[in-house]
Structure 1
């Protein structure tokens, strides 16, 4: 396996994987908007994206993390926003490999932590995360307020 730190050179394959990821989460397929979103993230350096290749150098997954700063610890951390492994190769250790790579990468960078969310019903992912040392949040309660942007605003500006 190999992990690539993505640039625009990997944009086309990332767009396909990101579109598949969105479909997995019941969003409509839209390769064009998926490509535009990933391209903008790469150009503006809004996120760090990692592409996972299998032993034959075939792309099988990706992850996308967004930087943030913890004002209590005064250190950076990363929000592990997206993790996707192609359905045909799931449960073969790819997600574990990619997550361990990312943990080591950001630890060397000096980040304070990695933070992620998953659906309460996604017990397979929860099992993986806990086996990798992630600790379920029991102190804080997360709230969301969904905002409706003006119609003319592009969603990923």
Structure 2
């Protein structure tokens, strides 16, 4: 299948928001396209994240969203691969791997030391995909969250 990966801009907001909503529903969140759209719009307008879209059949069918972080031992920028999603109708075509490869290329383009990510232990697809793409499981650290 022919496809391309493009860096999303504000003109891609509607398509990105539809995919972002499906992604959030996958993680058991209430469907709310407009709220997700407002969230993505703010990220894009404030240059707070970089989003890449897979375009196939003349529409966006997957995305990855990256946030800038800084690594304390490498003393360099790194990217948090926060969100990765491919529409269920387009899975199994290598689009997730292509988005990860584009994210690695983005590290090169932005002089970042690498990517980090987290996923739920129950995300069987992701937990099989990421090691295949060269990610190493970090069993040495515990990740904690504090929410207000």
Q: Into which bin does the TM-score normalised by the smaller protein fall?
A: over 0.9
Q: 1:109 offset after TM fit, Å?
A: 2.0
Match of 1:59 in 2: 60
Indicate conservation of the 8 Å contact 1:79/1:115, yes or no. Answer: yes
C-alpha separation between the residues in 1 aligned to 2:147 and 2:80? 19
Q: Report how many aligned residue pairs link the two structures.
A: 146
- The Cα offsets for residues 66-88 of structure 1, whole Å up to 9 and x where unpaired, read as 00111221100010000010011
* Matches of 1:124 and 1:36, distance apart in 2: 28
Q: Please give the TM-score of this superposition, normalised by the length of structure 2.
A: 0.93
Larger Rg: 1
Q: Name the structure 1 match of 2:97.
A: 96
What are the Cα deviations for residues 32-76 of structure 1, in whole angstroms up to 9, with x where unaligned? 10110000000000000111112x332110110100111221100
Structure 2 residue matching 1:102: 3-state secondary structure: helix
Distance in 1 separating the partners of 2:117 and 2:138: 10
1:10 maps to which residue?
Answer: 12
Residues of 1 paired with 2:108 and 2:86: CA distance? 23
When normalised by structure 1's length, the TM-score is 0.88
Q: Are positions 1:20 and 2:22 aligned together? A: yes
Q: Which runs of 5+ in 1 are unaligned?
A: 148-157
Q: Which residue of 2 aligns with 1:135?
A: 136
The more displaced of 105-114 and 3-12 is: 105-114
Instruction: Give the drift of 1:31.
Output: 1.2
Instruction: Return the alpha-carbon distance in structure 1 between the equivalents of residues 109 and 132 of structure 2.
Output: 21
For the residue of structure 1 that corresponds to 2:147, the secondary structure is coil
CA distance in 1, matches of 2:128, 2:35: 32
